[in-house]
Structure 1
Amino acid sequence: MKLVHDMIVLVVDGSRMLLLRNQGDEVYPDLRVIEHRQFENLPNRDLLSDAPGVDFSAGYPGRSTFEESDPHQANEDLFIAAAADTLASVAANGQDRLIVAAPPRALGELRRHYTQDVRARLVAEIDKDFTRHTVDEIARLLSVHGEPAGA
């Protein structure tokens, strides 16, 4: 994939986000960090205080438990929504083309939050997790990735 000058790249998962801009050209991409966010999302065992509740319903002879929530996943979804808001603000301020790289589940959550500006500028979505790679490695991985349709 060719990373044209001033292309914006969002690399995100449930707890890390990198927003990058290509200061180089298609031949020699030079990704620079615009924004970086990270938070520690504790596992559910540390977030939940007790076992699921038990219901003693008069209509049934046994007991049933209430469905347990997933606060860890809820925290990841909130983080991804905030990353989508950041991408939307960048898209609203310019004519930049956008690439998004995220694991499949995070990519699905991101899509729920895309604005019209983001959709209009989106060149490619890559369903891979690049968040643990260096910026230079991300540039290399994006360069060897397939050419997007219509570009």
Structure 2
Amino acid sequence: MLLPHGTVFAIVDGEKFELYRNAGMEAEPQLTALDTPDLEATNYSAAAKDHDKISRFQSGAPKDRLDKMEEAAHVTAVAEWLNAQVLSRQIDKLVVVADPKSLGQMRRHYHKELEGVLVAEVPKNLAGRPAQEIVRVLHT
């Protein structure tokens, strides 16, 4: 996969969010880390609808349900942040790399403009991996 110069890479899972930019050439990418915003995963209502088909967060929910809702809220917050960056023209080329579950969750929240700047989506969990490994996986 060719990765255009300047492309932003969002590496996401249910807990982590990392950003990189391709500072290299299209055929020889060099990912440089970008500052990742502190996102508040506050959109539990969207998480509840998307995951459990319930309408509101309940404090008495079992721990596994709470964990799933927190993961969904985190992924939703990432998608909303990416939408805002695309709409404000801060991102014009984007690759989203996320585990399949998180990627599916994010897709539900993509703005039409974000869909237009997507270079690729990669359904893999590469959060916490070195940049060189990310590039290697994307080139295979």
Normalised by the size of structure 1, how large is the TM-score?
Answer: 0.69
Partner of 2:134: 138
Q: Unmatched 5+ residue regions in structure 1?
A: 40-67, 145-151
1:79 corresponds to which of 74, 79, 85 = 74
Q: Deviations over 1:98-148 (max 9, x none)?
A: 11111111011001110111111112111110113111211221122xxxx
Runs of 4+ in 1 over 4 A off after TM superposition: none
Q: Secondary structure at the match of 1:82?
A: helix
Rg (Cα) greater in structure: 1
Identity of matched residues, %:
32
CA distance in 2, matches of 1:31, 1:108: 25
How many Å apart are 1:86 and its aligned residue?
A: 2.1
CA distance in 1, matches of 2:97, 2:114: 14
Q: Deviations over 1:66-111 (max 9, x none)?
A: xx55110000011101111221122121462211111111011001
Q: Deviations over 1:29-60 (max 9, x none)?
A: 11112233689xxxxxxxxxxxxxxxxxxxxx
- Greater shift, 87-96 or 116-125, is seen at 87-96
Partner of 1:96: 92
Partner of 1:31: 31
State the aligned residue count.
117
Change beyond 3 A, Cα 1:113–1:23: same
CA distance in 1, matches of 2:16, 2:23: 22
Q: Match of 2:68, as an amino acid?
A: Q
Alignment of 1:3-14 (within 5 A): 3-14=3-14
CA distance in 1, matches of 2:38, 2:101: 18
CA distance in 1, matches of 2:83, 2:6: 16
